[in-house]
Amino acid sequence: MTRFVGGPVRVSVPATSANLGPGFDSLGLALDLRDVLEGEVLAEGLVVEVTGAGAEAVPLDESHLVVCAMRTAFEALGAQPPGLRLRCENVVPHARGLGSSSAAIVGGLVLARALVADGAAVLDDAALFELAARMEGHPDNVSPALHGGFTISGHDDDGFWTVRSPVDPRISVVVLVPPDGVATEVARGLLPDRVPHADAAADAGRTALLVAALAGRPEHLLRATRDYLHQDQRRPAMPASLALVDALRTDGVPAVVSGAGPTVLAFVDGPEARDRLLGRCPEGWVAHALAISDDGARVVG
């Protein structure tokens, strides 16, 4: 019989950036910008409270994405609670390419697991990752949201898979977030069904180089972040973002579109490079200097 824990449980979950240029739907990075979710089992009913990013737009009922993820985890754990209270303290901006939906999915799954006594023994990280990837549809954001750090992930006939890869401690990022978002569905809708073989080969080479550059050869990050498959194709949906990427790369900065955009992410390897980038934030945008988060979603006190 499933036993729920008493009192509230809090979970912290990081923002993530997928693709990182050439690693389309396969590379992901956890960033030190974190939402905090608090859940508690009640005798009856559902109470959802949201503050911060997206608070004015998200539903406060069973259709809330965190609630959907929690229900999915509870089902896998064998029982739904009689009632539930959820409070979301959102920091990760919505519809900006920083993994807000993956944070909601992974955070909700981890929160539900923590609300069940011995939940981790029933639903381990491998099973939870599979649930998260199926909910999101692809694993590139949910993997670093769960495991932290830099991950390489994908899907084959055996299911979803993921592997962590090291990041040189000198490397951090600056993200430049525009005031208006772009829906992932819109950004994906601009991609062609087929790409030239030469472009696919070029992206494969850059993706392999990026893994090596992040692991300890940051001098190769500019070349390694060159993309051929998706960024230019998305230019009509985010012209200002791609113009900024072009300008930064012309100046030797390894800048990319974060995920489906429109946030621009640039890799930096020291405080001087970080400060220069912060000074190039366009008017009306928001800049964050962020460390790579070694931790994924975790229960906090």
CATH number at residue 203: 3.30.70.890
Question: Residue 19 is part of a domain; what is its CATH number?
Answer: 3.30.230.10
Residue 24 has pLDDT above 80, yes or no: yes
pLDDT band at 145 (very low <50, low <70, confident <90, very high): very high
- Is 98 in the same domain as 227? no
Same domain, yes or no: 161 and 33: yes
Number of domains in the chain: 2
**Angstrom distance (rounded) from CA 289 to CA 281:** 11
User: Which pTM was predicted?
Assistant: 0.96
Residues 14 and 140 in one domain: yes
Shared domain check, 249 and 157: no
Binding site for ATP, residues?
93-103
Binding residues: 93-103
Residue 87 lies in a domain: yes
Look at residue 3 and tell me if it is in a domain: no
In this predicted structure, what is the pLDDT of residue 77?
Answer: 96
Based on the domain organization, do 110 and 252 belong to the same domain? no
Model pLDDT, residue 183: 85
The whole domain housing 183 covers: 172-290
Residue range 164-183, pLDDT digits in tens: 999 999 999 999 999 999 88
**pLDDT band (50, 70, 90) for residue 188:** confident
Residue 301 has pLDDT above 80, yes or no: no
Whether residues 88 and 178 fall in one domain: no
Same domain, 177 and 275: yes
Asked whether residue 185 falls in the same domain as residue 232, the answer is yes
**228 and 249 inside one domain:** yes
Per-residue model confidence (pLDDT) at position 192? 85
- Indicate if 15 and 142 belong to the same structural domain: yes
Q: Are residues 187 and 268 in the same domain?
A: yes
Task: Grade residue 185 by pLDDT with cuts at 50, 70 and 90.
Answer: confident
User: How far is residue 67's CA from residue 108's CA, in Å, rounded to a whole number?
Assistant: 7
Residues 176 and 157 grouped into a single domain: no
Whether residue 189 lies inside any domain: the answer is yes
Domain for residue 155, yes or no?
Answer: yes
